[in-house]
Amino acid sequence: MIHLIGGPPRVGKTLLAERAARGIGASWISTDVIRSVIEVGQPGLTHIVWGETEGIQAHAASFFPYLDRLLWGVNSLRGPYVIEGVDFLPEQAVRLAERYPVRSVFLGHSAMTGPSSATTSGGSRGSPEPRLNNSA
Amino acid sequence: MAEHIVGHTELVKQECIRLGVPFVDVAGDFDRELAEAETRLVSG
């Protein structure tokens, strides 16, 4: 089973991935890793406009082939795996579930407050910080 | 960034409702909501 965790930045996806992976004896990876790999070869390709619905949807659509390939690889490992990230939406999760053994949950924060900052970013923390963990 | 997270949350929530995908809002009791999300992720 592949467990997908999606949602905006800073809502607890990584923490949930760590907990869930530990609980089921799985490894986990953030899509930040994939995005940073893509950026090495094609700078700017994964640029996200956070403040616009259309920008988020367009990014998720353009990222889908890479995510699909990741799941293809992970699925070949035959064990449980957790994948978390900002780079896909429920629509992509549903499409992936048609092809792979996938279970998904999305997180959100409907009342977050705080100082404004840049409207664009390559990742959830400004510059992508690849996260890779093999806890199994 | 906070307003973008709230906007992104609404987009995700509406898609989840439309497609029947589990959605958990962590705006309340974070630890409790995260535990709920883990249960839904692992146990379905």
Nearest CA in chain A to B15: A90
pLDDT at position A133 is 58
User: Measured between CB atoms, does A134 come within 8 Å of chain B?
Assistant: no
Helix, coil or strand: residue B20? coil
Span A55-81, pLDDT tens digits: 999 999 999 999 999 999 999 998 899
Q: What is the pTM of this model?
A: 0.87
Chain B: residues touching A (Cβ < 8 Å): 1-13, 15-16, 18-19, 21-27, 30, 34, 37-38, 40-42, 44
Residues in A closer than 8 angstroms to B29, CB to CB, are none
In angstroms, rounded to a whole number, what is the distance separating the alpha carbons of residues A136 and A78? 13
CATH superfamily membership of A2-109: P-loop containing nucleotide triphosphate hydrolases (3.40.50.300)
The dihedrals phi and psi of A109, each to the nearest 5 degrees, come to -135, 105
Q: What are the mean pLDDT values of chain A's consecutive 10-residue runs (136 residues total)?
A: 96 97 96 91 75 89 95 93 97 98 97 60 42 52
Give which of B3, B39, B42 is closest to A109, Cα–Cα. Answer: B3
Do residues A20 and B38 make contact, with C-beta atoms less than 8 angstroms apart?
yes
In angstroms, rounded to a whole number, what is the distance separating the alpha carbons of residues A24 and A81? 9
- Of the residues A88, A110, A113, A121, the best mutation for testing chain B's interface (the one with the most B CB atoms within 10 Å of its CB) is A110
Domain coordinates of chain A in residue numbers? Answer: 2-109
Do residues A91 and B19 make contact, with C-beta atoms less than 8 angstroms apart?
yes
DSSP, res A18: H
pLDDT at position A41 is 81
pLDDT at position A80 is 95
Place of tokens 């939406």: A89
pLDDT at position B39 is 96
pLDDT at position A82 is 98
Regions of chain B short of the pLDDT cut 50:
none
Give which of A5, A86, A29, A97 is closest to B41, Cα–Cα. Answer: A5
pLDDT at position A131 is 52
Sign, Cα dihedral of B24, B25, B31, B32:
negative
Residues in B closer than 8 angstroms to A118, CB to CB, are 1
Pairing of strands A27-30, A120-121: unpaired
